[in-house]
Chains A and B, each alone.
Chain A
Amino acid sequence: MKSSNEVVVTGWGCVSPLGGNTESTWSRLVAGEGVRAPITCIPVEGCRVTDGAEAVMPDLDWLPKKSISRLSRAARLALPAAQEAMADAGILDTNGRSIFPRLEMSLSTTANGMELGEEFLKGVWAGSFRHQTSRVSRYPAHQQVADLQQNLGFTGPAMVVSNACASGANAIGHAADLVRGGFADIVLAGGFEALCELVYCGFDCLQALAPDQCRPFDTNRRGLMLGEGAAFLVIESAVHAAARGAKVKGRIVGYGHATDTHHITQPEPTGAPLETCIRRALVQASLQPADIGHINAHGTGTPFNDSAEAAAFARVFTGNPAPRLVSTKAAIGHTLGAAGTLEAVFSLLALETRRIPPQIHTSDPIPEVAGWLARPGEVLEKPVVLSVNLGFGGSNAALLLAAA
C-alpha cells in the first residue's frame, strides 16, 4: 500500500442468534452464552444433524408491512444491522435516510436470498407459475443491495464478494482498501447470511456438522454449527470522519488475503496460506505479533480447519506472548458470508470495552493453542486484535483492528 490514508470505523451494528442488535449480542457473548436449538426456519428433516443457531429476527417496525413481506430472509437480517451501523455513525437523518445520497457499499454473502431460489426451483419442477416472478427477482444478491439502498435512502457503487466463509473479512478489507487507495471517503461494509436448505444440507452431506456442541480447537471437536446473522460497519478515512465530527470507535490497520490451492474444501494442513495473510496484514500495519492481544479465530470446530489454523498461529506467535484466543462460532454458529463481519464487530467491541468473550464448549484444547483460549472475565491487555477467516476454495483473510 502506498497511500497513508488512515482507515477508521465510526459505527457498527449486528443481528445474530444471540440478539437483534449489538448490545444484546455482546452482553450475552461476553457472559459466555451460546445458542443451539432445533432448526425451525427451514426444512431439515432427514439430515444427520438438525440443530443450529437461528438469528433473533428484529421487528423492522420502521418499514411498511408490505415492504417487509417482499424481503428475503437475508435482507431482513441485513437491513436492521445496516441501520444500526449507520445510526451509530451518525449518518442517518431524522427520517432514517442516509445523509449521503451516494454511499459506496462493500458487501459479502454466500447464499443471497437462497430460500426464494429454492422455492422458485420447486415451482419450476411442479409446473407452477404462481409467485415465480417475485421469487426470482428477490433471490439474487444485488436485490439485497437494492433493498438496503431503497430502504436506507442512498445509491452508489456496490461490490458483493462471495469468497465463501472468508467473504466477510474480504468485504471489510476491500472497504479499507478503497479508503486507503483514495477511491472512497466513506464505505458501508457488511455481510449477511440466512439459513437455507441447500447450504444446510450441503454441510450435512459433507458430515461437517457437529452432532452436539461446536467445540473449536478441542481435541474432540466433531464439526461446525451453522448459524445466521448480519453485521455492518461504517468505514471512512480519518480525515473524512474528522471533517464531519464523527466519533472514531476503532481503526482498521491491516488486511491480508491469499488463496490456498491445496483442496476445494480443506485448508492446507500447515496453515501456510493463513500465515501469509497474517504476516501481510502485520506488514501493512507496521506491527509485530507481540502487539496483538487477542485473536478472534475462524475456529469452525472441524478437524481440518482448526488444526491448520492453530498451526499457523503457533508459527506466527513463536517466541511471543500468546494472544487470548476465541472462536465465537461456538456461541453463534458459523454464519458463512456474515462470519467475518460479525467477528470484526466482536473484535472492535473487545477493543472498546477491553472485555474478551470466553471460549465456550472447549474443555480439552489441542496442544498448539493450549493455554491460549480466553476464560470468562478476561481483560484485553493490548490495543490490537487479529480476526481471521478461511473458506472453501482456499479463501484466506486476516484483519488487524486497533483501538480508537
Chain B
Amino acid sequence: MRDPISILAVGVSCPGGTGPAALEAQWPSRRVSQITNPAITREVATIDLAAEPFNRWRMRPRLRRASPLSHHLIEAVAQILEARPDIDLSRVGLVGSFFIGCLVYSVRFYKGLTTDGRRFASPILFPETVVNTPLSHVVSELKIGGPVYSQTGDTSCWSTALRTAALWLANDDVEHVIVAGGEEFDPVFLDVMHSARWFGSRPEAGVSEGAGAVLLGKKSSQALAHITRIVDGFAFRNRAQAAKAAESLLAEFDPVIPVADTPANWTRRLAAKPLSGRMLSNCCGVPKFEAFTATCAWNTIRAVHSAEPRLVVPFLGLSQQMGAIEIFR
C-alpha cells in the first residue's frame, strides 16, 4: 500500500449479539455432534437468526431464502451504513473474504441431488451455493453501488481483502470500501476440521459463526484508527514452513510495536517462537471460538478499540499463508 488508510466505522454480528460490544459478551454455546462419529461432540457458538436483534432481515423478500452467511454479512455491513449515513453509496466498494463460504446450502443442495436423484436437484438452493451470492444480496438490499469482490482463501484472505480495499482507494476507484469477513456454521464443518486434524491438539477449541466489517477511506481525522501497513503473502505448506513464515512476517514490523495475541487461532502455536520475543497485547484474547475470516475481522475491530496506540494484528492462516496489518490510533 502507498498511503495509510482510515477505519471509519465498524459492524459486528456474532453469537454474543450485534455491535462491537457483543464481542466481549458471554456467548451462548452448545455441544454439537460430529456426523461421522456422533459420540464426539464439539462446543459451538451460533447465531439464532429467528431471535432479536438478528431477525430484522428475515422478512426482506430477497433474504427469506438466503443463507445464514448472507444474514450475518448484511447485519454487519448495515451497522456501518447506519453509523455513517453521510457517505455516497454509489462510491462505496465492497470486498468480502471467506474461508468456508456458503456451506449450509452447498451441503443441503448436494445432499438433495445425491439422495433424491440428480433430476430432482433444487433450483432454489443452487444459486445460494455460489460464493458471491451473499454479497450480491447485501449490495442489493443496502443499495451499495460500487464494485464488489468476493475473495476466498484460508483465514489470511482477510488481509488480502484489506489490500484490495487499499488498492481501490489508492487508484481512486471509489471513495470508501467496506471489507467484510463472514462465515456460517454447519455440523459437517466439525467433520471437516476433525479430518484436517485441527482438533487433535486443541480438543477444547470451539467453532463459531458471524461476520465483521470495517469501513475504510482515505486518511481522515474522523477515523477510529488508521491502517499504516498491510503485509501478506507469507506462504507455507507444512508446520516447519508455517513457523518460518510467522517469523518472516513479524520481522516486517518494528519490534517495539506490540502484537495482538490471538490464542483462539489454531495456527498460533506454530508462531509461538517469534511471538515469544514480542510484546503481546491480549486485546483479542477472548472468546475461545474460532470463526475464521469473521474472527480476523473481529480481531481487527478489537484492535481498533484497544488501548494500544500502535498494534500489529497478525492473521495466521490455517493452511496456506499469513498476513498482518499495523494499526495506529
Q: Which residues of A contact B (CB under 8 A)?
A: 1-3, 43-48, 102, 104, 110, 112, 118, 120-125, 127-129, 132-133, 135-137, 140-143, 145-146, 149-150, 155-164, 170, 174, 177-178, 180-183, 197-198, 201-207, 257-259, 261, 264-265, 391-395
Contact = CB atoms under 8 A, between A and B. Distances in A.
B136 interface: yes
Interface in B296-329: 317, 319-321, 323
A198 B110 contact: yes
A145 B129 contact: no
Interface string B149-181: 111111001001001101110111100000000
A393 to B, nearest CB: 3
A14 to B, nearest CB: 22
Contacts of B120: 205
Contacts of B99: 140
7 contacts: A132-B36, A146-B319, A156-B233, A157-B163, A160-B151, A164-B132, A177-B173
Interface in B116-149: 117-123, 126-127, 129-133, 135-137, 139-140, 143-149
B1 interface: yes
A3 B170 CA distance: 9
Contact of B152 (A162, A182, A258, A264): A162
B188 to A, nearest CB: 6
B149 A125 contact: no
Given A149-B235, A202-B121, A205-B122, A142 B321 contact: yes
A198 B196 CA distance: 22
B233 A157 contact: yes
Nearest to A202: B126
A120 B195 contact: yes
A47 B119 contact: yes
B95 to A, nearest CB: 9
A86 B286 CA distance: 45
B195 to A, nearest CB: 4
The 7 A-B pairs with the shortest beta carbon distances in the complex, nearest first, are: A157-B233, A393-B136, A202-B126, A261-B140, A162-B131, A205-B121, A46-B118
B172 A177 contact: no
A389 to B, nearest CB: 13
Interface residues of B, number: 74
A133 B195 contact: yes
A114 B185 CA distance: 19
Contact of B167 (A118, A177, A261): A177
A180 B133 CA distance: 29
B41 interface: no
Nearest to B132: A393
Nearest to A397: B147
Given A156-B235, A205-B120, 16 more contacts: A44-B118, A46-B118, A118-B110, A120-B192, A127-B36, A142-B317, A142-B319, A146-B235, A158-B160, A162-B101, A204-B119, A205-B123, A259-B144, A265-B127, A394-B140, A395-B136
Contact of B136 (A202, A205, A394): A394
B219 to A, nearest CB: 16
A316 B36 CA distance: 56
Nearest to A45: B118
Contact of A264 (B109, B136, B233): B136
A118 to B, nearest CB: 6
A83 to B, nearest CB: 18
Given A158-B160, A183-B1, A2 B171 contact: yes
A104 B151 contact: no
Nearest to B149: A161
Contacts of A137: 196, 319
B106 interface: yes
A112 B150 CA distance: 14
Contact of B188 (A112, A121, A261): A121
A120 to B, nearest CB: 7
Contacts of A44: 118
B157 A145 contact: no
B289 interface: no
Contacts of A207: 123
B232 interface: yes
Contacts of A149: 235
B148 A259 contact: yes
Contacts of B145: 259
Contacts of B27: none
A333 B2 CA distance: 41
B320 A145 contact: yes
B22 interface: no
A121 B319 contact: no
Nearest to B113: A201
Nearest to A170: B149
A110 B153 contact: no
Given A158-B153, A159-B164, A392 B233 contact: no
Given A133-B195, A159-B160, A142 B136 contact: no
Contacts of B323: 157
B184 to A, nearest CB: 16
Given A47-B119, A125-B35, A142 B154 contact: yes
Contacts of A394: 136, 139-140
A240 to B, nearest CB: 17
Interface string B243-272: 000000000000000000000000000000
Given A160-B151, A264-B133, A181 B170 contact: yes
Contacts of B106: 198
B64 interface: no
A38 B41 CA distance: 44
B195 A136 contact: yes
Contacts of B21: none
Given A181-B167, A205-B121, A393-B136, A155 B150 contact: no
A393 B168 CA distance: 21
B60 interface: no
B25 interface: no
Nearest to B147: A257
A104 B131 CA distance: 23
B132 A142 contact: no
Given A120-B195, A155-B234, A160-B151, A204 B121 contact: yes
